[in-house]
Amino acid sequence: MDAGTMIIRLENLCTVYEGERIPAIREVDLSVSSGDFVCVVGPNGSGKTTLLETINGILKYTSGRGEVFGLDIASNGNAIRRRIGYVIQNFEIDPLSPFLCKNVVMSGRTGKIGLLRFPNSRDWEMVRGSMGLVGLSSYWERPVGKLSGGEFQKILLARAIAQEPDIFLLDEPFANLDLRARSEVERLLSRIHADGSTMLMVSHEVNSIPRFCTHIVVMDGGRIISQGPRDEIVQSGIINEILSMGRTSG
């Protein structure tokens, strides 16, 4: 998509979990253009992951308006998810899992291949290239159950890359990574973003905000309380203020 094209638009949007009465996110207004790198920051429980899940059509919003790629999220969730690479947080993995890394990464191409169809040579080339980008080419035949937390995080990122998405949704992508691995992943995200990808990344730490992030959204209590260009928000001091208070609701 052309840089600057509006790609996500949320207006007065609320999402309530099934069986709950209080919205997990409420009155959210957010616009993201193609090529943006948006970092969503806030304390644990502030609604950051709920925001990503709503954008991805996993959770249905209960009021307001939400569009991705110009499509209503509520009625076009499957079509939207085929164009979004979602790297989730705290994915549980069975140490005895027999699934190989190459097959986990290939699962990211299901939307491209289609159900009941087999991957072709280009699909496998994309998988091999994606694993190479995250530095795990030699893990081709390795069971995912034998990976460390950081290695598995990289495999999930490779899975998203193999999908060839228009948007990356990254929920705490530096979790479980040591300083070296974190630096490697940050450089990788910089390269992907420089190639024109749109990214939304969630973090609860100021130090996790990448230098190349273009915009910051600050959340607390299920609401967006501040948003704007990266330098403007960082210099305002509001992130440290919210995180130091540690308020968590919604």
Tokens of 100: 């190989």
Q: Which two tokens stand for residue 45?
A: 């429980």
Q: Which of 6-10, 96-100, 141-145 has the lowest mean pLDDT?
A: 96-100
Which of 4-8, 178-182, 218-222 has the highest mean predicted lDDT (pLDDT)? 218-222
Query: Residue 3 has what pLDDT?
Result: 66
The verdict on 229 and 106 lying in the same domain is no
Q: Which of the listed residues 164, 189, 210 is the one where a domain comes to its end?
A: 164
Residues 110, 50 share a domain: no
The CATH number linked to 70 is: 3.40.50.300
The dihedrals phi and psi of 12, each to the nearest 5 degrees, come to 50, 40
- pLDDT band at 219; cut points 50, 70, 90: very high
Q: How many domains does the chain have?
A: 2
> Residue 201 has which token pair?
């990344």
Percent of the chain whose predicted confidence (pLDDT) is above 70: 94
Q: What are 63's strand-pairing partners?
A: 14
Q: Which of 146-150, 154-158, 176-180, 182-186 has the highest mean pLDDT?
A: 154-158
- Six token digits for residue 158: 């490779």
Pick the last residue of a domain from 144, 164, 184: 164
- Tokens read off for 239: 């992130």
Instruction: Give the residue from 164, 180, 195 where a domain finishes.
Output: 164
Q: Contact, 246 vs 46, CB < 8 A?
A: no
- Whether the pLDDT of residue 209 is over 70: the answer is yes
Instruction: State pLDDT tens for residues 17-61.
Output: 887 888 999 999 999 999 999 999 999 889 999 999 999 999 999
172 and 78 co-located in one domain: yes
Residues near 174 by beta carbon (within 8 Å), at least 6 away in sequence: 182, 185, 186, 203, 208
196 Cα distance to chain centroid: 16
Same domain, 196 and 134: no
235, 224: one domain: yes
Token pair of 116, please? 């009941």
Tell me if 9 is assigned to some domain: yes
Output DSSP code: residue 49.
Answer: H
Range of the domain at 203: 1-83+166-250
In whole numbers, what is the pLDDT of the chain averaged over residues? 90
Does 245 lie in the same domain as 170?
yes
